[in-house]
Chains A and B, each alone.
Chain A
């Protein structure tokens, strides 16, 4: 009986693993199979044409804009916030409140961020449906990610580094930017890279704040669509699965590159600290 039960569960474990891998391989396989026919130099670098057959360069540019603007704002704020929490704050009610807020922000679904962005950045601050409004919304989405990863990176800096530096008569600030930040830089970097992945993959919040205009953006105040929104819209409006899958290939390649560089950096980091 016990033998039977063991075999049954062992079988279920194998079956589940097989199912998971099969489904996930199917998804990636499907995207590549459907989309690879469209991938060409002109498709990636060509301008969009509403008549069809055009490229996706405007969406790539829009995606790059959103990534750059959100990171330019979120990175310094996130790092300094983490520095405050790890290096300056006395543990107490204020720190608990900040931690609670950061954690809560992580749990909010992106459509709620989209609603907030639509009423606050688009309407109240009068930015209109624009790349800037979307980027500011995305800034809030990735801020907790950057704070958390930076905090983790700061934690790995040995206490002796700080003590050694302070003992040489440096100020706290000098110790921070000459000793602590440089030695936690790889950890901070991989956090930033992960946020790039989050921004590139985001759709609902951008849909509500940047709009859907399919053209090369004139400025960061124009409405535009990112790769994910484009992939969604061509599926929803035109049922063009091949085009959606081709955009999907570009997205997957970006995500793959992001993941590989994050892994590479954190591996390098581990080797450096284990010395």
Chain B
């Protein structure tokens, strides 16, 4: 081989290497941009929703206090008060938690600790599958089964009520809570159980005094995830809530939670009315942030 060719080869290799380095640099930039997209979208979401929602209070002269504590929502008369919806959302969420959490948690304990392996192997995957069922179908079920049931049992004219919302949300939370809590309970080391049995504690005593406390953080995650599904649920709730604009005073009152208000009116709202729906979204958003914060605090305390 003559020298010039080798030189040429060297130049070629050098060029190829240069291209490689360029490509390396370029690709790591592209990866960074992709990763930053989630930050950008989060900022965009917060920015747009808050900008739209804050507009009537900043520029339109509407009072935020009247918005939160006002009990009249009559867009055609320029009255925007979402107090009944806030109350409905809070009651519905708490109600669903009161019913869904103990049943879900107990089911998880049953599957992880009491049920035979064979039984658990059939039930657990089935429940996992149910976590994936579109929530609309829970609403259809609620409308067709739960509402007639409530009408018959309580002699209601209209079955759409706070209680119906609570039941549908509680059922909807179940698969999520069971699946996540079961995994957490199964992750508790076998030695904990053995140690507790060795001290003469019964199986039930061991479950409630040793295993559940040990799985606390996982159980908390289960509750938060179930709660997230319940609070944000919209379409299933519309079907069973009745959507009346009153502050609920009993479980059988027809209600309109925050999410439903947005979905029901977004289709035809414009101007201030539309902006007020974004403001409703901000309230919902803050509501979720506060709840997550409170639950995180509770679980941190429990951990200590």
Determine if B109 is an interface residue (Cβ-Cβ < 8 Å): yes
User: Given the complex, which residues of B lie within 8 Å of A105, measured CB to CB?
Assistant: 38, 41-42, 45
Determine if B288 is an interface residue (Cβ-Cβ < 8 Å): yes
User: Given the complex, which residues of B lie within 8 Å of A202, measured CB to CB?
Assistant: 134
Check if A107 sits within 8 Å of B228, measured CB to CB.
Answer: yes
Determine if A45 is an interface residue (Cβ-Cβ < 8 Å): no
Determine if A31 is an interface residue (Cβ-Cβ < 8 Å): yes
- B233-245: CB near A (< 8 Å → 1, else 0) gives 1110011000000
Determine if A215 is an interface residue (Cβ-Cβ < 8 Å): no
Check if B174 sits within 8 Å of A20, measured CB to CB.
Answer: yes
Check if B266 sits within 8 Å of A98, measured CB to CB.
Answer: no
Distance in angstroms between the alpha carbons of A200 and B132 in the assembled complex:
10
User: Given the complex, which residues of A lie within 8 Å of B259, measured CB to CB?
Assistant: 109, 111, 204
User: Given the complex, which residues of A lie within 8 Å of B41, measured CB to CB?
Assistant: 101, 105, 140, 143
User: Given the complex, which residues of B lie within 8 Å of A68, measured CB to CB?
Assistant: none
Check if A172 sits within 8 Å of B24, measured CB to CB.
Answer: yes
User: Given the complex, which residues of B lie within 8 Å of A166, measured CB to CB?
Assistant: none
Check if B137 sits within 8 Å of A17, measured CB to CB.
Answer: no
| B93 vs chain A, min Cβ distance (A) | 12
User: Given the complex, which residues of B lie within 8 Å of A248, measured CB to CB?
Assistant: 134, 137, 140
Distance in angstroms between the alpha carbons of A62 and B120 in the assembled complex:
38
| A234 vs chain B, min Cβ distance (A) | 9
Within 8 A of A (CB), among B103-133: 103-107, 109-111, 114-115, 123, 125-130, 132-133
User: Given the complex, which residues of B lie within 8 Å of A241, measured CB to CB?
Assistant: 140, 143-144
* Residues of A in contact with B, size category: 35 or more
| A218 vs chain B, min Cβ distance (A) | 21
Q: Which residue of A lies closest to B114 (CB)?
A: A13
Distance in angstroms between the alpha carbons of A19 and B108 in the assembled complex:
12
- With contacts A13-B109, A77-B34, A204-B235 taken as known, whether A31 is within 8 angstroms of B288 at the C-beta atoms is no
Check if B144 sits within 8 Å of A232, measured CB to CB.
Answer: no
Determine if A89 is an interface residue (Cβ-Cβ < 8 Å): yes
Check if B266 sits within 8 Å of A259, measured CB to CB.
Answer: no
Distance in angstroms between the alpha carbons of A104 and B40 in the assembled complex:
12
Determine if B63 is an interface residue (Cβ-Cβ < 8 Å): no
User: Given the complex, which residues of B lie within 8 Å of A171, measured CB to CB?
Assistant: 20, 23-24
Check if B30 sits within 8 Å of A147, measured CB to CB.
Answer: no
User: Given the complex, which residues of B lie within 8 Å of A28, measured CB to CB?
Assistant: 130, 133
Determine if B31 is an interface residue (Cβ-Cβ < 8 Å): yes
Check if B136 sits within 8 Å of A232, measured CB to CB.
Answer: yes
Determine if B81 is an interface residue (Cβ-Cβ < 8 Å): no
Show 5 residue pairs from A and B whose CB-CB distance is below 8 angstroms, ordered by the A residue: A9-B207, A10-B204, A16-B103, A248-B140, A251-B134
What are the 9 tightest A-B residue pairs by CB atom distance, in nearest-first order? A109-B232, A16-B106, A84-B31, A201-B134, A17-B110, A80-B34, A204-B234, A81-B35, A84-B35
Beyond A17-B106, A97-B39, A111-B259, 17 extra complex contacts between A and B, CB < 8 Å: A16-B110, A31-B141, A80-B31, A81-B34, A84-B32, A84-B34, A101-B41, A102-B38, A107-B228, A111-B284, A113-B45, A114-B263, A171-B24, A208-B263, A231-B136, A236-B238, A255-B129
